[in-house]
Structure 1
């Protein structure tokens, strides 16, 4: 408002012979009031200031600064995303001024001034459009940043969940397998202690070794919680030691090259064998098992068979228990499958197929 009346005062100084009339004051006051609400109603203010200019300039001899309100209304409309209406009004106003000046006599402005006024209006629209696009770009960039941060948080949560599941499976494998063997060997030692005490010593020695190995593997597994870089659990290279501790008569059949496996495949295969032997020792009622390991056609096949109570009515094998579930999860994480259930000829079978490319870099 101050600028409008200051401009009116300057116009009066430029044309001292022309008095400032009520039309000049009223139009300047109306333009100033319209400018104050231009952000809330940009199109209404744009049309209002255009009408004011249409009425004021043909009737006023002072030519006050009301056109400045029109420029500001054009800028605000474009800045609020109303670029097309602002452009249409600019074109219409420029055409109307040109036609009126060409038809009028005498002419109030020359041709260069007509073009200059049109250029100012077009510049106001252009600047408003630039600021609108700039704000839109900043909003989009901010949304992309927020989306990226959200995606990183989701990825971190997913990895943390996968790591917790992996640790839970490792703890189940270590504790379940070794404690089951300790329980079996302790039962054997107690059975032999009364009648054949000299035969209890091997069982007690196995208990000692198994408990020591269990503690070692437990420390390695929990190392990820302390420092994030635990020792890698043993793979198929430690299969002989695993079989020696399980207290079973195990026959092993290996076909294909099973050395140089990707670490995650090697560890998963060893854990599946370990859990399957634990189930044999705990639930089958027999002391013998067969392990078959075959690497062929980009797939590692692992099978553990026993001749025990592998019937559909023998839930002791834990077909839906945490042990079988853990083995299935290990295979599924690597894109493989695992089946566990009674064999047609009797007994129980755990069979896993894990993708295993020839080169670890292909994983």
Structure 2
């Protein structure tokens, strides 16, 4: 039924409800109003015009509303019981308002008022209070319809807002995953490349050091596969996501970097997960850049837990051997680190420092609760 309504513009459920309601009320009203004409085939035919108009209302709004009003007037003029014939015009007026055809709805409401008042005067009922009652009833119906329209539009607006927010969050999540994948791949692939070059260079002259480089390649490849699986698992609904790398794994990161790295921590305190992840990725990307552009240099990593911020500083002393990967970078390393810092309300400065290079990030921290 839902497909029929969407494809052809029919309302079978509502039409059936109106048909049953009019028939039941007509029998009761006819039994209670003995002075009116009893129901006959002509009366039932007029009562079926309204449900048929409701069925076709989406495709022919003005024509069906006018047809239902005409059937209602004919039902009254024929002398049948008051009540059942009013249902279809009322439903159609409400549908016009709710579906956004307000001007047409108010025009047809005026036509309904004119026809009802004309019938009352025609049968000799010229009581001013009866006329006011008819006017009030139609106005009340239209006010209720307008309120229903407002409620419907506000609900639709809330749904649109929720959908836009959902799309925005999904876009942010995709951006985060892309950034995570970039950091993971850039660091580990660069490390694998450097170690592979070292192994090839030393495999004959120094097999033990070459073996160590190959072991580092094995560890790095396992790490990149694990982290990629962790990030991509988010794309599968309900899939668990393993904890993202943080500063607790910094020693492991330094160990497998293949460079001389000194690590210094000044102070300590629990960190929010976003800050913890960002600090780790900044150190990781900085080590990647050092391996790519400054091979053979000495690298120092300093973490300072100052008041209200975490200062991450990574500096190198400059390349001592040719930078075999200097032309293979993506160019997104430093901008990506700066974006991570900015997203947390922090700053990141990167540039030459003497013969080497230095990255310094300042990430704000919430106040510690006692």
Under TM normalisation by the shorter chain, which class is it?
Answer: 0.5 to 0.7
The count of aligned residue pairs is 267
Deviations 1:202-226 (A, max 9, x none): 2122222222222222222222223
CA distance in 1, matches of 2:327, 2:311: 21
CA distance in 2, matches of 1:224, 1:48: 64
Tell me the residue number matched to 2:181: 171
Tell me the SS of whatever aligns to 2:256: helix
Structure 2 segments unaligned to the other structure (5+ residues) = 1-72, 80-103, 320-324
Tell me the residue number matched to 1:19: none
Tell me the residue number matched to 1:256: 267
The answer to whether the 8 Å contact 2:113/2:134 transfers is: no
Which one of 196, 206, 211 corresponds to residue 186 of structure 1?
196
Tell me the residue number matched to 1:126: 136
Tell me the residue number matched to 2:315: 305
CA 1:359/1:147 → structure 2, altered by over 3 Å: closer, same or farther?
Answer: farther
The structural deviation recorded for 1:43 is 6.3
The structural deviation recorded for 1:189 is 1.5
The structural deviation recorded for 1:137 is 0.9
CA distance in 2, matches of 1:229, 1:278: 29
Tell which structure's C-alpha radius of gyration is larger: 1
CA distance in 2, matches of 1:38, 1:238: 68
Alignment of 1:156-235 (within 5 A): 156-226=166-236, 227-235=238-246
- CA RMSD, Structure 1 to Structure 2 (Å): 3.4
Alignment of 1:9-24 (within 5 A): none
Tell me the residue number matched to 1:238: 249
The answer to whether the 8 Å contact 1:284/1:317 transfers is: no
CA distance in 2, matches of 1:319, 1:186: 17
CA 1:342/1:148 → structure 2, altered by over 3 Å: closer, same or farther?
Answer: same
Deviations 1:279-336 (A, max 9, x none): 0100124421121212223222212112227xxxxx9599992222322232233233
The structural deviation recorded for 1:240 is 0.6
Deviating above 3 A after TM superposition, structure 1's stretches of 4 or more consecutive aligned residues are 1-7, 37-50, 315-320
The structural deviation recorded for 1:244 is 0.3
Q: Does 1:65 align with 2:123?
A: yes
CA distance in 2, matches of 1:181, 1:302: 21
Tell me the SS of whatever aligns to 1:195: coil
Tell me the SS of whatever aligns to 1:246: coil
The structural deviation recorded for 1:6 is 5.6
The answer to whether the 8 Å contact 1:334/1:355 transfers is: yes
The structural deviation recorded for 1:273 is 0.6
Tell me the residue number matched to 2:367: 358
Tell me the SS of whatever aligns to 1:171: helix
CA 1:46/1:223 → structure 2, altered by over 3 Å: closer, same or farther?
Answer: closer
Structure 1 segments unaligned to the other structure (5+ residues) = 8-36, 54-62, 69-116, 310-314
CA 1:297/1:121 → structure 2, altered by over 3 Å: closer, same or farther?
Answer: farther
